[in-house]
């Protein structure tokens, strides 16, 4: 592949040694992009110093490309800006019936507002939220329900599966249906256990159990040495799940993970199992409500209308704060969490959680940060849609804009760290390890990496690397690794003082806010801050137990110990 249009920002006069190092960096990065000569590949690459304001490297920065999961950087930035780091989802048990002598005469409604965390990710048990809700029913003395169990997902009406998603992905765990009422990431695991004799059906279990799914078991248990084949199949996510083929008696269990057809029904089935376990009987079946017109929620605060009973709240669960969910989106790259944040931003700002309204809300939030959004297309919030289009320049502008906001510490903390096995495990023996933070992205033919790294001069270098038309995303990531490691090694002029300097303070409290916090400046270390404030490093660490001393960054707020040991 030939690289054309290499753009270099105009720079003021600089020292010859610095010019030489910059030229060497650009040559190395250009060579990295030419490692694999892919004729049909399109690169969009931009590296900008947030401290010096100059462009260090640029290839096709304004070319709209599919971003894959890098799109989650837009979704999480908008969520922080529009919802706030302490935003929490709420899940309710409602009724418009009457409770009398322990009997709820009417329907019991499970109402969701988009919480993706109803699982064992934040609780010791998968049904932990439902246990909390049923605790509250027991406190009201409710022992039976004469009506149905209603699964109300009307808060976020819209397609469960965006039409732009690849149909081949819809059974896979990473493409769970998007619903205001979700449970266990809207995924179930099937376990097929061979029977104890030939000719019988194998046992089929689900994790979590009580999934309420339509399963057709056509498989048989057989004996013999031949290795029979067993398949767990579904052509369409709305079809019944079929167990086909044969399994040998005594063979290992067969497992497969698959998305559920109806998340609201799945959640209600799990809640019903908890109710039964607690001795609360629901006489009716499960009904799913997906549109506001069929929901009783609009009558929660309205006065009683003749012929219509007022809705009341029986139980409520409040989720963990948004900032705890961000790491699941960016570090774990969870698509369901991203999609529900995306639609919640749309619902909050535009009054609708549709993909179109959510896209507008996210792009408007990005525009406020200085991102040029005219050529951007956001078809979803996760990046699964191959038709979304974002530029490398827009990612760099997004990072630069967020770095100037008070939400930056939460945003920065949500990004995967290079060299960390459970985060961004690559570049682990380079200068980027423990330094570079960036969001990865991968779909068919697409690889992306956007984030920030500090140079050897402690400059903040924001970068975005987008590649479309890659014959091998594995090889593309090798190129990303080369670029990330090289940026971490960059130094304006070896042996000279760095261009980024931190002015000495004239007062021990300069830079300290009125509420007893200190905002980190570029180039500062925790020990240097402690020295300037007349404190010990141990005192600063005790006041900031969640802070990693070697990973503080400019703009981060630190608690300052007060006389007497408080903070």
Model pLDDT, residue 539: 80
- Render pLDDT for 180-196 as a digit per residue (tens, 0 to 9): 999 999 999 999 999 99
In which residue are the tokens 């630069």 written? Answer: 400
Mind listing the domains of the chain with CATH numbers? 16-84+322-489 (3.40.710.10), 90-320 (3.50.80.20), 502-567 (3.10.350.10)
User: pLDDT at residue 76 above 70?
Assistant: yes
- Render pLDDT for 403-461 as a digit per residue (tens, 0 to 9): 999 999 999 999 999 999 889 999 998 999 999 999 999 999 999 999 999 999 899 99
Model pLDDT, residue 145: 98
Q: Are 418 and 432 in contact (CB under 8 A)?
A: yes
Average pLDDT over residues 86-93: 97
User: Considering the chain, what percentage of its residues have pLDDT values greater than 70?
Assistant: 89
**pTM for this prediction:** 0.84
- Could you tell me the CA-to-CA distances from 384 to 18, 71, 326, 345, 377 in Å, in that order? 41, 9, 18, 18, 13
- Render pLDDT for 334-356 as a digit per residue (tens, 0 to 9): 999 999 999 999 999 999 999 99
Model pLDDT, residue 24: 94
The H or E element containing residue 118 is none
User: pLDDT at residue 9 above 90?
Assistant: no
Question: Cα angle at 347 between 345 and 351, to 5 degrees?
Answer: 130
Instruction: Tell me the two tokens of residue 215.
Output: 């399963």
User: pLDDT at residue 312 above 90?
Assistant: yes
Coil vs helix vs strand at 41: coil
- Render pLDDT for 494-513 as a digit per residue (tens, 0 to 9): 655 444 433 222 333 345 44
**Binning pLDDT at 50, 70 and 90, where does residue 1 land?**
very low
Model pLDDT, residue 44: 98
Model pLDDT, residue 320: 95
Model pLDDT, residue 507: 36
Average pLDDT over residues 137-159: 96
- Render pLDDT for 262-304 as a digit per residue (tens, 0 to 9): 999 999 999 999 999 999 999 999 999 999 999 999 765 545 4
CA dist 556 and 282 (Å) reads: 51
Instruction: Tell me the two tokens of residue 160.
Output: 């469960």
- Compute the Cα dihedral for 174, 180, 184, 189 and give only its sign: negative
**Binning pLDDT at 50, 70 and 90, where does residue 212 land?**
confident
Instruction: Please tell me whether the peptide bond between 538 and the residue prior to it is cis, using omega within 30 degrees of 0.
Output: no
CA dist 384 and 137 (Å) reads: 39
Q: How many CA atoms lie within 13 A of 217 on its CB side?
A: 17
Q: Are 65 and 389 in contact (CB under 8 A)?
A: yes
């Amino acid at each position: 592949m030939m690289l054309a249009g290499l753009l270099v920002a105009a720079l003021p006069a600089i020292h010859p040694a610095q010019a030489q190092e910059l030229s060497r960096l650009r040559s190395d990065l250009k060579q990295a992009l030419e490692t694999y000569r892919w004729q049909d590949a399109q690169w969009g690459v931009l590296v900008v110093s947030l401290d010096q304001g100059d462009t260090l490297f640029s290839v096709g920065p304004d070319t709209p490309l599919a971003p894959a999961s890098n799109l989650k950087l837009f979704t999480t930035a908008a969520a922080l800006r529009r919802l706030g780091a302490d935003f929490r989802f709420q899940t309710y048990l409602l009724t418009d019936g009457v409770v009398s002598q322990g009997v709820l005469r009417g329907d019991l409604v499970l109402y969701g507002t988009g919480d993706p965390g109803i699982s064992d990710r934040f609780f010791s048990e998968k049904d932990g939220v439902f246990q909390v809700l049923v605790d509250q029913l027991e406190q009201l003395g409710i022992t039976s329900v004469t009506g149905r169990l209603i699964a109300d997902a009307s808060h976020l009406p819209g397609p469960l599966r965006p039409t732009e998603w690849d149909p081949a992905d819809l059974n896979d765990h990473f493409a769970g249906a998007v619903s205001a009422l979700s449970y266990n990431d809207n995924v179930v695991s099937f376990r097929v256990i061979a029977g104890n004799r030939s000719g019988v059906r194998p046992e089929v279990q689900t994790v979590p159990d009580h999934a309420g799914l339509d399963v057709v078991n056509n498989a048989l248990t057989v004996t013999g040495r031949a290795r029979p084949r067993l398949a767990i199949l579904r052509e369409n996510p709305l079809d019944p799940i079929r167990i086909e083929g044969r399994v040998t008696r005594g063979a290992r269990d067969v497992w497969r993970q698959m998305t559920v057809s109806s998340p609201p029904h799945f959640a209600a089935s799990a809640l019903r199992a908890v109710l039964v376990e607690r001795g609360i009987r629901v006489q009716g079946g499960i009904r799913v409500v997906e549109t506001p017109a069929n929901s009783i929620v609009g009558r929660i605060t309205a006065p009683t209308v003749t012929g219509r009973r007022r809705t009341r709240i029986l139980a409520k669960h409040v989720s963990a704060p948004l900032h705890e969910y961000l790491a699941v989106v960016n570090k774990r790259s969870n698509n369901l969490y991203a999609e529900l944040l995306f639609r919640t931003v749309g619902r909050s700002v535009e009054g609708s959680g549709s993909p179109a309204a959510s896209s507008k809300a996210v792009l408007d939030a990005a525009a406020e940060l200085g991102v040029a959004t005219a050529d951007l297309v956001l078809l979803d919030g996760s990046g699964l849609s191959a038709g979304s289009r974002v530029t490398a320049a827009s990612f760099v502008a997004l990072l630069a804009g967020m770095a100037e906001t008070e939400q930056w510490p939460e945003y920065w903390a949500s990004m995967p760290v290079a060299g960390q096995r459970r985060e961004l495990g690559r570049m682990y023996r380079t200068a980027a390890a423990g330094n570079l933070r960036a969001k990865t992205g991968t779909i068919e033919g697409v690889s992306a990496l956007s984030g920030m790294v500090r140079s050897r001069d402690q400059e903040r270098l924001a970068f975005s690397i987008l590649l479309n038309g890659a014959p091998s995303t594995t090889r593309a990531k090798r190129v990303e690794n080369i670029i990330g490691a090289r940026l971490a090694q960059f130094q304006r002029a070896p042996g000279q003082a760095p261009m980024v300097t931190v002015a000495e303070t004239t007062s021990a409290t300069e830079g300290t806010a009125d509420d007893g916090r200190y905002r980190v400046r570029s180039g500062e270390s925790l020990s240097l801050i402690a020295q300037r404030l007349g404190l010990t490093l141990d005192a600063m660490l005790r006041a900031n137990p969640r802070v990693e001393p070697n990973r503080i960054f400019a703009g981060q707020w630190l608690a300052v110990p007060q006389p007497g040991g408080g903070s």
